[in-house]
Structure 1
Amino acid sequence: MANIDLNTLDAGMGSRFPLGRLHSLESMGTVDGPGIRFVVFVQGCPMRCAYCHNPDTWAINAGTRVSVEHIVELFENNRQFYRNGGITVSGGEPLLQPDFLAALFAEMHDRPRGRVHTCLDTSGYAFDPDHPERTAAVLDDCDLVLLDIKHADPERHRDLTGRGMERIVAFGDELARRGIETVIRHVVVPGYTDSTDECMRLGRLIGRWPNVVGLEMLPYHTMGVVKYEKLGIPYRLDDVPQMDKERIPELRAAVLRGMKEVRQAEQL
């Protein structure tokens, strides 16, 4: 994997598209969608997840301003590496910058050398169900969504992230309505999201979305703690150990049972 120095990038003056605020770029991503991918990490996030390992992405008006054209150029310069992958926009929260994201995805779908697979990694919280038109252009050119569901219980979701989950569920409903392939991501945190009941409840939530094509259970780790120390931010899960990876198959099976329960009930 290789990070790209944002200080070397074009600030985008004269771009015909809205500029994006970026945190970083990854030229050889292998865990952000299928194949090898060019990963754009945007700046700014409305969530405050207790286990977030990138608190440096939270500030909305920070980051480096970069043009769509320059990102496309960087991608095309190494296109041969992405022939079985594509481009992923992660964060931070990409849907806070819908105009930039829509322009980038549209350009990637309209490349002279062939359409590029586009993937959105999001919490879904920035989706506004009262104004779905604000993100419609993004989803029009989105091939895959990695949807991060933080917790299946509304109250515990708010405690864990500082935000409610109504918009996230509405976003999942919108993806299902559009039939956009979606992979659910769920961070398994000891004492928070590692119970069979919570995982069954998650399965019941996502089981009603027929467009869900994958499930990633991500074991909680503490690699991001050092960033909190450098930024002077208290780390809420300071006493929580890393997740025992051996429990992941058991909890994944609980999610799948919940999904099956809902889907079987819908067939009755």
Structure 2
Amino acid sequence: MLDRRDIRITMVKGAIHSVETFGSVDGPGIRFIVFLKGCNLRCKYCHNADTWNPQSDDMRTPEELLDFAERYRGYWGEDGGITVSGGEPLLQIDFLIEFFKMAKERGINTCIDTALQPFNEDRNSEFFGKFEELMKYTDLLLVDIKHIDREEHIKLTGLPNENIQAGMRYLSEIGKPIWIRHVLVPGITDNDEYLHKTRKFIEELSNVEKIEVLPYHSMGQHKFEALGIPYQLEGVESPTAERVANATAILRGEK
């Protein structure tokens, strides 16, 4: 017989924005990617501003979503699996725990694309206990470093970054593999001083398997306009190939 907690868990639903059935850049191999709704950050360069609002007309249980994802399992091969992105997936941590728990029971590789903004390093907090549970069923995290400097991080995203860095240190502590992503924005993050500081922080971590520099682009601008939100990076060009190579070399400790 199910107890009350079991009944609650089986009824938890995720607020879904969209899915991508054949993703090749969000984790190893071919991935089924789930974009969840809701995010507390307001990144100036966000290309998914339409995920900020946590409300969704597409609400699914973990089992419903997983059954749908498995229709495409034949494409994943040995390295692929499921990546949950957003928005910020950790804002729906109850759904994520159950979704990934079921996925691991079916032998599926699991990955979270996150900025770690909801992380709470208080080990007595409700979130921390849930995060510990989630990590049991998570194979890999793709973690964005928005900006290494606290004040610049606030200017770029609207919120500070101490808890984000604490989350990365905790993932290093438990040996959970991460890929680091860093969006290179001319005039904001494309700065050698900040890049070297970011590299120094990365050197504190023992769990980094890959570092990716993502050139800024304005392809999300139309979403801001559709939502009636001023786009603050109007006129900012993408970084040159030389600046991307420079940032990559610094962040990987090659320069």
TM-score using structure 1 length: 0.87
Specify the alignment match of 1:246 in structure 2: 242
Aligned Cα RMSD in Å? 1.5
Specify the alignment match of 2:17 in structure 1: 23
Flag structure 1 segments of 5+ consecutive residues without an equivalent: 1-13, 261-268
Q: What is the CA-CA distance between 1:72 and the residue it aligns to?
A: 1.2
In the alignment, is the contact (CA less than 8 A) between 1:201 and 1:255 conserved in 2?
no
Specify the alignment match of 1:53 in structure 2: 47
Identity %: 42
Choose from 180, 183, 188 the match for 2:176. Answer: 180
Specify the alignment match of 2:68 in structure 1: 74
CA distance in 1: counterparts of 2:111 and 2:61, whole angstroms: 19
1:143 aligns with 2:139: yes
Q: What is the CA-CA distance between 1:241 and the residue it aligns to?
A: 1.2
Specify the alignment match of 1:9 in structure 2: none
The code of the aligned residue for 1:129 comes to: E
CA distance in 1: counterparts of 2:226 and 2:241, whole angstroms: 28
Choose from 229, 232, 235 the match for 1:236. Answer: 232
Q: What is the CA-CA distance between 1:15 and the residue it aligns to?
A: 7.8
Give secondary structure in 2 for the equivalent of 1:125. coil
Specify the alignment match of 2:96 in structure 1: 101
In the alignment, is the contact (CA less than 8 A) between 2:9 and 2:98 conserved in 1?
no
Give secondary structure in 2 for the equivalent of 1:246. helix
Q: What is the CA-CA distance between 1:205 and the residue it aligns to?
A: 1.0
CA distance in 2: counterparts of 1:255 and 1:196, whole angstroms: 10
In the alignment, is the contact (CA less than 8 A) between 1:203 and 1:255 conserved in 2?
yes
The code of the aligned residue for 2:119 comes to: F
CA distance in 1: counterparts of 2:28 and 2:202, whole angstroms: 21
Q: What is the CA-CA distance between 1:74 and the residue it aligns to?
A: 1.3
Give secondary structure in 2 for the equivalent of 1:89. strand
CA distance in 2: counterparts of 1:17 and 1:79, whole angstroms: 25
Tell me how many residue pairs correspond in the alignment: 243
Choose from 191, 194, 197 the match for 2:193. Answer: 197
Q: What is the CA-CA distance between 1:63 and the residue it aligns to?
A: 4.7
In the alignment, is the contact (CA less than 8 A) between 1:17 and 1:100 conserved in 2?
no
Choose from 204, 211, 214 the match for 1:215. Answer: 211
Choose from 120, 123, 130 the match for 1:128. Answer: 120
Choose from 13, 30, 41 the match for 1:36. Answer: 30
CA distance in 2: counterparts of 1:136 and 1:99, whole angstroms: 12
Q: Deviations over 1:168-224 (max 9, x none)?
A: 011101111110110000000000011111111111111111001100100000111
The code of the aligned residue for 1:135 comes to: F
In the alignment, is the contact (CA less than 8 A) between 2:32 and 2:72 conserved in 1?
no
Q: What is the CA-CA distance between 1:61 and the residue it aligns to?
A: 2.5
Give secondary structure in 1 for the equivalent of 2:212. strand
Give secondary structure in 2 for the equivalent of 1:97. helix
Q: Which moved more, 1:60-69 or 1:178-187?
A: 60-69
Flag structure 2 segments of 5+ consecutive residues without an equivalent: 1-7
Give secondary structure in 2 for the equivalent of 1:145. strand
Q: Which moved more, 1:96-105 or 1:68-77?
A: 68-77
CA distance in 2: counterparts of 1:255 and 1:228, whole angstroms: 30
